[in-house]
């Protein structure tokens, strides 16, 4: 069909085949408190530089509601507490706060280092590097691999990993033809393009810098994309499977406004709903936007503005409740800021993995589209805690909740139902795809962790299915291939259920300590 570009330039394009579309987790009409309790407050965070991380439970004055945060607390003279984390500080009355000490990620890493590296071998360095990568410690992971190479540069495993790191560290050259293609797709040349080693990010002009990182949003997204890029390759390589790095930049588009993202979606006639981002395999471009410009965040911004007015009025009038009002206003503002950034981090990491899988030979762009396979892998890598990239295979509260909701369902919760790709078809018909995302994430989590070699074999064989295969025939072929690669499906399902019962969110782990 014919379409008209945003800048008036005529262009030709067909309705695209969408490889992915990360579903937004929040509904615009949720109340502020419900949103905080369901989203921002159920995300536990790890960032303290001290030996102990503090879980802080803040009892909101005059209510039965409590807020759970993790960070670093310092007790001050006069009965107040300063709570610190990367995106700001909060001040509480000590009697409103319950603090629980837990080891930080760095402390746990040092303990594991002492235990695992008591015998310095290449295999032990690789084992510890894998743990570090899973927990978002990319810098430490690469440092351990460097130490392993120094220990024995002739070891075959470390030689392959060193060769991969050379590729990862080498920037790919610009591609003028690719840039022109993206500009034609998005409609003109008004967007700026910023480069990193492996990505070309098209974005609106930006001058405002984040108060914490001192970077523009485009710079922050490029930094995240590179972190996901390295983590993606190393996650597979540390398990002995090496993927082919792309030879040209991967293109992504970041809209500053949600309404512009929606306009682009309508222009492509995709018919998507509640989507936070998507990847087009035919065009090889990822799209996402600043989630702070969505309806829900704009409404929350109005609420924080109102709370700020109440805070200033309480100061001026010296209200007896001024301290409580100020603490509550600051808490809400900071939590919204955290959730805003966390939502963006999760979306960008999710879509980046879709794009990487399509450009590294894992799931070819012109191959069969198996929804649970694509979304399961992207969800496995999707990760954000406290608005930062937090590792691979993180146990997400939303994903595991949807898995548990269907765990006892003999049909919708079965391995056969998921593997046949019926899950997304049925859940879409029922009006909500999130349960299908949860099931795909859960099965991928188990297979990636416990049955990696068979999973890679299944990925390879599934690529042979024709892209135009009828959905029913495709489902039958997928189940047959799955049985061929993994063996007895009944035994696998029992093992999967047992494995999933061992997974706990950070909140659940904390509850066991109380």
Using one digit for the tens of pLDDT, what is the confidence trace for 482-492?
999 999 999 99
Q: Is 7 helix (H, G, I), strand (E, B) or coil?
A: coil
The number of beta carbons lying within 10 Å of the beta carbon of residue 47 is: 20
Is there a domain that residue 131 lies in? no
For residue 66, what are the domain limits?
Answer: 47-103
From residue 185, give the alpha-carbon distance in Å to each of 176, 263, 271, 285, 356. 14, 13, 18, 9, 20
Contact assessment for residue 420 and residue 479, using Cβ atoms and an 8 Å cutoff: yes
State residue 171's pLDDT score: 96
Whether 24 shows a pLDDT value over 80: the answer reads no
- Give helix 156-169 / helix 217-237 axis angle, nearest 10°: 160
Mean pLDDT computed over 122-141: 95
Query: Is 386's pLDDT higher than 80?
Result: no
Q: Which residues pair with 69 in a beta bridge?
A: 56
Helix or strand or coil: residue 136? coil
Mean pLDDT to the nearest integer, 123-135:
96
DSSP at 388: B
Q: Name the phi and psi angles at 66, rounded to 5.
A: -125, 145
Paired residues of 121 in beta bridges: none
| Among 4-13, 252-261, 295-304, 436-445, the least confident range | 4-13
Orientation angle between helical segments 397-406 and 434-450, nearest 10 degrees: 100
In residues, how long is the chain?
Answer: 514
Question: pTM of the entire structure?
Answer: 0.85
C-alpha distance across the termini of the chain, in Å = 61
pLDDT band at 38 (very low <50, low <70, confident <90, very high): very low
- Say if 96 falls within a structural domain: yes
Close Cβ partners of 426 (under 8 Å, ≥ 6 residues apart)? 412, 417, 436
Does some domain include residue 457? no
Q: How far is it, in rounded angstroms, from Cα 465 to Cα 366?
A: 11
d(CA 352, CA 349): 5
Q: Is residue 81 part of a domain?
A: yes
The helix/strand/coil state of 364 is coil
pLDDT of residue 22: 64
pLDDT at 58: 67
3-class SS at 275?
Answer: strand
Q: Report d(CA 304, CA 331) in Å as an integer.
A: 10
Least confident of 15-29, 341-355, 361-375, 462-476: 15-29
Query: What residues pair up with 55 in beta bridges, in sequence order?
Result: 70, 100
Q: Taking CA 252 as the corner, what is the angle to CA 246 and CA 256, rounded to the nearest 5 degrees?
A: 160
Distance CA 54, CA 201 (A): 37
Could you tell me if residue 359 is inside a domain?
A: no
Task: Quote the distance between the C-alpha of residue 351 and its chain's center.
Answer: 9
Contact 286, 355 (CB under 8 A): yes
Please count the structural domains in the chain: 1
pLDDT in tens, 215-268: 999 999 999 999 999 999 999 999 999 999 999 999 999 999 999 999 998 888
When pLDDT is averaged across residues 69-93 and rounded to a whole number, the result is 81
Phi/psi of residue 341, nearest 5 degrees: -70, -40
Residue 104 has phi, psi (to 5 degrees) of -75, 165
Handedness of CA 285, 358, 272, 32 (dihedral sign): negative
Q: Among residues of the chain, what percentage have pLDDT more than 70?
A: 84
CA atoms within 13 A on the CB side of 325: 17
Q: Per-residue pLDDT tens for 200-211?
A: 999 999 889 988
Identify the helix (H) or strand (E) that includes residue 98. Answer: strand 97-103
> Which has more confidence, 489 or 66?
489
Cα Dmax for the chain? 74
- The pLDDT > 90 percentage for the chain reads 57
């Amino acid at each position: 069909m014919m379409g008209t570009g945003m800048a008036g330039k005529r262009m030709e394009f067909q309705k695209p085949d969408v490889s992915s579309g990360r579903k937004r987790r929040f509904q615009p009409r949720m109340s502020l408190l419900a949103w905080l309790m369901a989203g921002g407050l159920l995300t536990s965070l790890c960032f303290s530089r001290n030996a102990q991380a503090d879980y802080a439970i803040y009892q909101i004055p005059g209510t039965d509601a409590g807020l759970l945060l993790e960070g670093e607390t310092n007790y001050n003279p006069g009965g107040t507490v300063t709570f610190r984390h990367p995106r700001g500080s909060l001040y509480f009355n000590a009697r409103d706060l319950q603090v629980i000490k837990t080891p930080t990620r760095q402390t746990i890493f040092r303990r594991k280092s002492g235990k695992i590296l008591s015998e310095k071998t290449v295999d032990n360095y690789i084992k510890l590097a894998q743990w570090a990568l899973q927990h978002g410690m990319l810098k430490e992971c690469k440092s351990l691999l460097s130490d392993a190479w120094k220990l024995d540069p002739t070891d075959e495993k470390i030689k392959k990993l060193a060769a991969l790191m050379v590729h990862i560290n080498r920037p790919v050259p610009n591609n003028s033809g690719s840039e022109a293609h993206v500009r034609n797709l998005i409609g003109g040349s008004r967007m700026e393009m910023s480069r990193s080693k492996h990505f070309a990010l098209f974005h609106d002009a930006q001058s405002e810098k984040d108060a914490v990182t001192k970077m523009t949003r485009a710079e922050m997204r490029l930094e995240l994309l590179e972190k996901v890029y390295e983590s993606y390759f190393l996650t597979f390589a540390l398990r002995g499977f090496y993927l082919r790095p792309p030879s040209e930049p991967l293109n992504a588009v970041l809209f500053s406004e949600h309404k512009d993202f929606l306009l682009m979606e309508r222009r492509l006639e995709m018919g998507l709903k509640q989507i936070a981002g998507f990847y087009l395999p035919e065009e090889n471009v990822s799209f996402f936007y600043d989630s702070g410009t969505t309806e829900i965040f704009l409404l929350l911004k109005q609420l924080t503005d109102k709370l700020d007015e109440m805070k200033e009025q309480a100061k001026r009038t010296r209200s007896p409740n001024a301290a409580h009002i100020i603490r509550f206003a600051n808490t809400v503002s900071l939590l919204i800021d955290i959730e805003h950034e966390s939502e963006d981090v999760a979306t960008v990491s999710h879509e980046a993995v879709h794009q990487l899988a399509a450009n590294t030979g894992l799931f070819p762009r012109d191959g069969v589209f198996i929804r649970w396979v694509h979304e399961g892998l992207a969800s496995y890598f999707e990760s954000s805690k406290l608005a930062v990239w937090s590792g691979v295979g993180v146990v997400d509260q939303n994903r595991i909740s949807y898995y548990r909701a269907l765990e006892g369902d003999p049909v919708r919760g079965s391995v056969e139902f998921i593997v046949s790709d019926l899950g997304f078809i049925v859940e879409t018909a029922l009006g909500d795809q999130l349960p299908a995302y949860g099931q795909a994430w859960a099965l991928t989590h188990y297979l990636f962790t416990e049955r990696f070699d068979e999973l890679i074999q299944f990925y390879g064989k599934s690529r042979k299915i024709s892209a135009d295969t009828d959905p029913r025939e495709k489902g039958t072929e997928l189940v047959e291939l799955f049985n061929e690669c993994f063996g007895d499906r009944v035994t696998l399902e029992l093992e999967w259920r047992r494995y999933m019962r061992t997974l706990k969110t950070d909140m659940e782990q904390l509850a066991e300590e109380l």
